[in-house]
Amino acid sequence: MSYDPYTIKVISGSRHSVDAIIENELKEYPKKDYGTVILHLSEREAEKTVRIIRYKTKEICDGKELKLKEGTYPFGTEISL
């Protein structure tokens, strides 16, 4: 059984609610401590969908930075999310 060091969340809803969730995630899991990355998947008039990816702990992050492109799976495979 392999250990996955990442947490991935896909959030969909109204722009306002998704923006509030993003704001809370970044307060709780700051980029400098957890490598948090927000990928904007889609945005329409009243709806927004994002993917939030971060390391599970500060210790795992250890100053590393997640650098991802839209649709790229961050774990060294060819899989797209």
3-56 pLDDT per residue, tens: 788 898 999 999 999 999 999 999 999 999 999 989 888 899 889 999 899 999
**The whole model's pTM is what?**
0.77
One-letter amino acid for residue 68 of the chain: L
11: helix, strand or coil: strand
Q: Supply the pLDDT for residue 70.
A: 55
Task: Give bridge partners of residue 37 from the DSSP assignment.
Answer: 53
Q: Supply the pLDDT for residue 73.
A: 55
Confidence class for position 62, pLDDT limits 50, 70, 90:
confident
What is the rounded CA–CA span in Å between residue 51 and residue 42? 10
Contact 61, 35 (CB under 8 A): yes
Confidence class for position 71, pLDDT limits 50, 70, 90:
low
